[in-house]
A and B are shown apart, each in its own frame.
Chain A
Amino acid sequence: MAKARLSANGLACRRGDRLLFRGLSFELGEGEACHVTGANGTGKTTLIRTLAGLLTPFAGSVKSEGAMGLLDERPALDPDLPLGKALAFWEQVDQCADPSNALQVLGLQNLLDVPVRYLSTGQRKRAALASLLSRNAPIWLLDEPLSGLDRRAIEQVTMLIQKHVDDGGIALIASHQELAIEGLKPLAIEDFIP
């Protein structure tokens, strides 16, 4: 796994005219995971999108080293294409040599011929995870990775995150659910409400 680091310094973000949080700082090194908690609308998604560089912070800065992979509620897979082809696009973009491992772990091999629009919420989430896995990015930003998953899939995903962290990756997870991951650092957004 490549060198990885992710840190925020005095981060403040707003949505519309409302300041969601301010003074948020943290630092994550290799093999560290962080669980972002907060009620609906407190800015978990905004934080993740800011860390990913998709939103400009109102104040403060984000520093990162290593490629970032983002998983959110949108799987970025063409709804009209069969799952296999939709995933193949991202595999080509990421130049992933062997995606079969990710598909097997997530139990997606039997769904490759099914158009993405016919997949259930949980299946779509697992498909998005498969494209994250084949990307091989050291920093994972996961926005509600467990929502819509059944118990078996939750165990698998937790195991995948654990393995990623054990291999020296960074994971920042926003979730309402409990995560059974060792050494998880808590980060409550409520502590930074202005």
Chain B
Amino acid sequence: MNGICQIESIGVKMPEKRLTTAELLDKIRIPCIRRFGLLTGISEKKVCSFDEDSFTLALGAVTDCLLYSRYRADELDMIINCSITKYKNGLSHLYEPSFSTLIKKAIGAEKARTFDISNACAGMLTGVYLAEKFIRQGIIRNCMVVSGEYISSISDNALKNIKTSLSPELSSLTLGDCGAAAIIERTSDSDNGMIITGFTTLSKYSNLCTGRQKRDAPGGIMETRAKKIHEAAIYESVPIVKEALERNCLSLKDITWLIPHQTSRSSIISGANHYLKCFGETPGHIAITLKETGNTASTSHFLALYRYLNEKRFTEGDYVMLLCFASGLIIGVVIFRMNKIVYRYGR
């Protein structure tokens, strides 16, 4: 491996308020989706209270991240906000100024360059992709990548619209709220540096999952052809993952932890089975972390990393692969070796 960046610290902000799958399904009287919890593996998710939104979650995650970091806010060179939802003051969608500008001002990151990006659930990993490019070019030395997702309004709106188990809004019920942030920095330890590869948009699948603001209700609406997008993602990702591994003289079994985008347990397991057929081997572990959080959109990979770091599941030197699938269809691979960050979490 020959990477020049590493994850220096990660922070998370979860809302306190819980919504169990049982409580959610009580609001829908359709017998055939009673197995929703079993299929998705989600027993509860966290949802914003009246005083929380995308911005407070993002800011909370940034604050938490700085607590674990050796950087002060005024030492940050760049801040990239990557959330799909840009709700501030409740469900008011902010267009201008950018979230990253407001975060910069709130934490006093005086010298940081800022911009927002939006790339569906691949947002934070696209942020990492860009951070690495700017660091590689010598423009910056570190970058805070952040996202705050107040996305459960999509689930609330879906509850009113779902009439059958074939509803395109069914996947919306998996969405939970979360904020996550990570500092990416230059490292001289190239053997453990991040390999960021294969980031591709397969736009012929771009109509399989679409989300937008609702015209006549607060929040958003999302329509997904879940089976089709899942099949496309799994099928199309195989050559991309293969190439990423071959380029770095690795095989899938060398990967200690594979962390895919957290959509549902059944789709992660079926993806793992397809990979077993194609690669003839499996990674050490496949992370499924959505049981108590649901699908937290662009924050899901960093939420999984944060949780496992705090649970002391990682060991220094472990190979970790972050695999992103997102509406677009976006596929991308990030591979790195766990560094000394493992000793700073879970104490």
Do the two chains belong together in a single complex? Answer: no
B residues near A (Cβ < 8 Å) are: none
